[in-house]
Amino acid sequence: MMDVVVVSKAGNYRNSLVALVKSAPNVGQVFVMDGINSLEEIPLKSAPGFVVMDSAAANGELGFWLDLVQARWPLARRVLLTDRIETVGKPGMDGVGEVMSKSISAGEFYRLFRQ
């Protein structure tokens, strides 16, 4: 089982995202944050297996967020969910392992946890 950190603004989208993450295979604890600046407050004994970030929560500071997450948990898989179609599937964004559309299906999302 792996722990997962979800970074997303409060609201219906985050509620749905957290429910989806909790129902994914091999997921242990799920830690939810409104913003990346509270990383130090997460009571993890070890690095999370995944960090799922909603690009809308970054408020124009996405690069800063990605740098912080990569510095804190360099081995965690990082997934960025975005509305911007031009960034979906773009490998090589600094600090991101996967860039996916927010409209990803549950089946596609679950595949991330099986890889």
Q: The pTM is what?
A: 0.84
The domain total for the chain is 1
pLDDT band at 22, cuts 50/70/90? very high
Question: Residue 78's Cα: distance from chain center in Å?
Answer: 6
Q: In degrees rounded to 5, what are phi and psi of residue 12?
A: -60, -40
Give residue 115's pLDDT: 67
pLDDT of residue 86: 59
State pLDDT tens for residues 28-76: 999 998 876 666 677 767 789 999 988 877 767 777 778 888 888 888 8
- Would you state the pLDDT for residue 36? 67
pLDDT: is 96 or 12 the higher one? 12
Which residue would you say has higher pLDDT here, 67 or 94?
67
Find the CATH number of the domain harbouring 49: 3.40.50.2300
**What is the Cα–Cα distance from 10 to 14, expressed in whole angstroms?**
6
Band of residue 88 on the pLDDT scale cut at 50, 70, 90: very low
* Buried residues in 15-48 as b, exposed as e (16+ CB within 10 A): eebbebbeebeebeebbbbeebeebeeeeeeeeb
Q: Tally the C-alpha atoms within 13 A of residue 52's C-alpha that lie toward its C-beta.
A: 28
Check if the beta carbon of residue 84 is closer than 8 Å to that of residue 55. Answer: yes
Give Cα separations from 22 to 3, 68, 70 (angstroms).
10, 24, 23
Which residues span the domain enclosing 98?
Answer: 2-114
Assign 6 a pLDDT band (cuts: 50, 70, 90): very high
Rounded average pLDDT over 90-102: 67
Write the CB contacts of 105 (distance below 8 Å, at least 6 apart in sequence). none
